[in-house]
Structure 1
Amino acid sequence: MLLHLQGILTADELRAARAVLLDAQAPWIDGRSSAGDQAVARKNNEQLAQDSDACRGLQALVLAALGRDPLFFSAALPRRIFNPLFNRYTPHASHYGAHVDNAVVHSREPGQWVRTDLSCTLFLAEPHEYEGGELLVHEPQGERRFKLPAGDLLLYPGTTLHEVTPVTRGARLASFFWIESMVRGGEKRQLLFEMDMALLKLRQRGEDPALVQLTGTYHNLLRLWATP
């Protein structure tokens, strides 16, 4: 399941994040410092230093935004979230070749391993601010390209082959991170998400005994499949 979540960041949060990332003193380093064995030869971008105050402040901002978004919770059912990282693509550090994310990654803070059931890209630059830089997702039925408005997020399976196409003008800014879900199976997560969205629509029509029963069924399935 690929899901486009709109407006994860408020306008004020987006301005604050961009001010940090666009600051001339922002601590950008070689993005290959966080790449796994498979990806290191394919990665050519810059990354905000993880041990910097700038990165820690932005991590708190993004995690707070995710925590208040009910659609994100319904789709991801997060058990653990890898602390968000931040990258920049420019014509001088322009692309990330096709790769699959590592199955497990180690988060420095709070010092834990996270299974990458879901990958996330939170766009922090507007599409008109850079040329190229699409998130290209390879699926059995073909390629899909994403270049979302600033503040929007793409959620997609961690098993997905994906890449960032070369940036030829401007700067592509984004946050990226991974989620270990309480429900490991992607098909089960999708069924629960679709059921939750259907229940939301039914609730808008008013209460009904059948609605109460279906809500109970949703939670019983979640109880059966979840590992909190």
Structure 2
Amino acid sequence: MLLHLPHILSSQELATARQQLGDDAPWTDGRSSAGPQALSQKNNQQLRQDSDASHRLQAMVLQALQREPMFLSAALPKRIFNPLFNRYGGQTKHYGSHIDGAVLRSANTGEWVRSDLSCTLFLSEPSDYEGGELVIEDAMNNAAAAQRLKFAAGDLVLYPSTHVHQVEPVTQGVRLASFFWIESMVRSGEQRRILFDLDMNLLKLRQQLGETEETTALTGVYHNLLRQWAST
């Protein structure tokens, strides 16, 4: 399931992020964090993880995620890899086709996180740069069926980490984004989709009918499934 979540960050938070991610930020070669498979494909800059700017922005992004109920419903997060920040433009302008590592270790905390879901949080407006689309192939990793995404600043896209994806070359301007991974309480993507669909339809029923015996019973079904499938 690929999910677009708009307005994760407020205008004030976006302004803070852009100020922290200017030309004088502690940028490093993005290849320093790439695995062997991605090393030859990665050509961008990445904010130094141990910098004050990185710590401040990580806290801001994590707080924003916690106030977004649709993100919590879709991801059912058990662990979130500390958000990272990258920059594309000039000579460091693309990230070729790759698939994210299955298990990732945070340089900050030393914690291992299984990558069930990948996230990109856009920090630049589409008009700020040319190119730079996030291209995500389908479940069969079919390039012909890929989706090419370029969302507004503050928007987030959530998608399975099993999908091959890339960032196309930025031919003009600068593309800023945050990216991170989620280990879900529910490992199966099919089970997460069932729970998300049930939760969203329960929300619509409550809006239409209020709390009824039926919505209470279906809420019980949701939690019984979650109880059966979740690992905490």
TM-score relative to the length of structure 2? 0.96
Residue number in structure 1 paired with 2:41: 42
Residue number in structure 2 paired with 1:207: 211
Q: Does 1:4 align with 2:4?
A: yes
Aligned-partner Cα distance in 1 for 2:18–2:197: 34
- Aligned to 2:85, the other structure's residue is in SS state strand
Q: Name which of structure 1's ranges 107-116 and 179-188 shifts more when overlaid on structure 2.
A: 107-116
Is the CA contact 2:50–2:108 (under 8 Å) kept in the aligned structure 1? no
Show structure 2 runs of 5+ residues with no match: none
Show structure 1 runs of 5+ residues with no match: none
Is the CA contact 1:91–1:166 (under 8 Å) kept in the aligned structure 2? no
1:76 Cα deviation (Å)?
0.1
Aligned-partner Cα distance in 1 for 2:109–2:115: 16
Residue number in structure 2 paired with 1:218: 222
Residue number in structure 1 paired with 2:115: 116
**Structure 1 residue runs of 4 or more that deviate by more than 6 Å after TM superposition:** none
1:11 Cα deviation (Å)?
1.1
2:181 to 162, 178, 188: 178
Residue number in structure 1 paired with 2:14: 14
Aligned-partner Cα distance in 2 for 1:57–1:211: 41
1:108 Cα deviation (Å)?
2.4
CA RMSD of aligned residues (A): 0.8
Aligned-partner Cα distance in 2 for 1:89–1:96: 9
1:187 to 186, 190, 197: 190
Residue number in structure 1 paired with 2:125: 126
The CA deviation string for residues 28-57 of structure 1, in whole angstroms up to 9 with x for no partner, is 110001101100110000000011101111
Residue number in structure 2 paired with 1:28: 27
The CA deviation string for residues 161-192 of structure 1, in whole angstroms up to 9 with x for no partner, is 00000000000000000000000000000110
Aligned-partner Cα distance in 2 for 1:164–1:42: 10
1:91 Cα deviation (Å)?
2.7
Q: Name which of structure 1's ranges 108-117 and 173-182 shifts more when overlaid on structure 2.
A: 108-117
The amino acid that maps onto 2:183 is E
- Equivalent pairs counted in the alignment come to 227
Aligned-partner Cα distance in 2 for 1:106–1:26: 24
Aligned-partner Cα distance in 1 for 2:118–2:82: 12
TM-score relative to the length of structure 1? 0.98
